[in-house]
Every structure is written in structure tokens, then in C-alpha cells.
């Protein structure tokens, strides 16, 4: 669940997130059932999503039954329901690294953020763009912050390295 919260925190479309927000109770032929979804998300457009996290790629019969019931309840009130499964290990490591730079203090000043943006208006290898801007000890935190917040992008499904192409979101 912690991993999914981190990944959802990175998604700029999501305006709010709550853990264990409510308890659902309903009757079925076997009696009264209850479930507490792990997460509730709210998108900027107002759309609501309840979500549960699993570490396994396949759901058990019990989990499928539960997901079906919760999905029907969500649909009835105009929400969506997601079951968030395992995350690719390379992507997970990359995003976990970038999460260390989520705080705005890593952005640097306005001039540094603009210089980092300018260095990657065309796709460029990470290290090449960093060296164009200045001292790597100063520039790398700003670059990682820009990758975290989505101002810059790169292929995070492969291990990050100094030759990794990086570009301004929407220009690559």
C-alpha cells in the first residue's frame, strides 16, 4: 500500500488521497459482509476512486468476489473501483529514488529550475544536460525533483543512468 500511495502522490491528476476512508457493509446470501477499502482518491475533475492494493498479479476467488461487490457499489454511487497490483521492480526503484526529491526545496531557485528545463527542451542524456547547466551537486537534485513532479520525463521502466534520455514533459 505504501508503494501505491507514493505512486499516486506523483500523479498530478490526483487532488486528494485518504487511507482507510470508510467501511462498506452489505448483505449477500452468505450473510452480512464488510470491507474497508485501503485508499480513496479524488481527481481534480471530482471523480472519486476507491482502491485496494495487492502484491500478487492474480486475485483469489474470494478477492475477485469482493472486488466485484465493491465495484458494483462504487458504480451505483458514481465512483470507480481499482485493484492496484504489483509494480514493475525497476519502475518501483526509480520512482522510490525520485521520491527522495519530492520536497520543493530540491527544485532550487527559479533560475536553476528554468535552466534545467531549458537543458532538456530537446531529449538529451541526463548527464549531458546536467553538465550544461552547471555543478552536478547543485543540478542533480533539481533534475530529480523535476522528474518527480513531471516537469521532465524519461523512461522509468529501465534503470536510471547517466545516458538515460530526459526531456521536457510533452516534447519527447
Domain coordinates of the chain in residue numbers?
A: 2-84, 89-168
Sign for the CA dihedral angle at 145, 148, 154, 155 comes to: positive
DSSP 134-170: S-HHHHHHHHHHHHHHTSEEE-TTS---TT-EEEETT
Indicate whether 172 pLDDT > 90: no
Distance in angstroms (rounded) separating the CA atoms of residues 135 and 37: 46
pLDDT tens-digit map of 36-70? 999 999 999 999 999 999 988 899 999 999 999 99
Please report which helix (H) or strand (E) contains residue 52, including its range: strand 48-53
**Predicted local distance difference test score (pLDDT) of residue 119:** 97
Nearest one of 144, 128, 24, 34 to 96, comparing CA atoms: 144
Q: What does the alpha-carbon distance between residue 41 and residue 133 come to, in Å, rounded to a whole number?
A: 37
The reported pTM is 0.82
User: Hey, how many other C-beta atoms are within 10 angstroms of the C-beta on 139?
Assistant: 20
Query: For the residues 145-162, what does the mean pLDDT come to?
Result: 96
Return left, alpha or beta for 14; rule: phi > 0 is left, psi -120 to 50 is alpha, else beta.
beta
Q: Identify the bridge partners of residue 32 per DSSP, sorted by sequence position.
A: 27
Question: 86-123 burial by CB neighbour count: b if 16+ within 10 A, else e?
Answer: ebeeeeeebbeebbebeeeebbbeeebbebbbebbeee
pLDDT category at 170 given cuts 50, 70, 90 is confident
| pLDDT of 152 over the 70 cut | yes
Whose cell is 532550487? That residue is 108
State residue 28's pLDDT score. 87
Per-residue pLDDT reduced to its tens digit, 74-127: 999 999 999 999 999 999 999 999 999 999 999 999 999 999 999 999 999 999
pLDDT-derived band at 171 (thresholds 50, 70, 90) equals low
Q: What average pLDDT does the segment 14-40 reach? A: 94
What distance in Å separates the CA atoms of residue 12 and residue 120, rounded to the nearest whole number?
20
Q: How confident is the model at residue 149 (pLDDT cuts 50, 70, 90)?
A: very high
Taking the C-alpha atoms of residue 103 and residue 89, their distance in angstroms, rounded to an integer, is 23
What pLDDT, on a 0 to 100 scale, did the predictor assign at position 32? Answer: 92
Region 16-29 average pLDDT: 94
- Tell me: pLDDT of 166 over 90: yes
Question: So what CATH class is 2-84?
Answer: alpha beta
Amino acid at each position: 500500500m505504501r508503494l501505491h500511495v507514493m505512486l499516486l502522490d506523483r500523479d498530478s491528476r490526483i487532488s486528494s488521497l485518504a487511507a482507510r476512508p470508510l467501511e462498506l457493509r452489505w448483505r449477500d446470501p452468505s450473510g452480512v459482509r464488510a470491507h474497508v477499502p485501503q485508499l480513496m482518491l479524488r481527481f481534480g475533475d471530482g471523480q472519486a476512486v476507491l482502491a485496494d492494493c495487492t502484491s500478487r498479479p492474480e486475485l483469489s476467488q474470494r478477492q475477485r468476489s469482493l472486488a466485484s461487490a465493491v465495484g458494483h457499489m462504487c458504480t451505483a454511487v458514481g465512483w470507480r473501483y481499482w485493484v492496484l497490483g504489483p509494480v514493475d521492480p525497476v519502475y518501483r526503484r526509480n520512482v522510490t529514488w525520485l521520491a527522495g526529491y519530492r520536497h520543493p526545496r530540491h527544485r532550487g531557485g527559479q533560475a536553476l529550475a528554468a535552466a534545467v528545463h531549458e537543458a532538456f527542451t530537446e531529449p538529451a542524456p541526463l548527464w549531458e544536460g546536467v553538465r550544461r547547466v552547471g555543478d552536478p551537486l547543485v543540478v542533480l537534485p533539481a533534475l530529480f525533483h523535476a522528474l518527480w513532479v513531471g516537469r521532465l520525463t524519461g523512461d522509468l521502466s529501465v534503470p536510471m543512468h547517466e545516458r538515460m534520455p530526459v526531456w521536457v514533459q510533452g516534447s519527447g
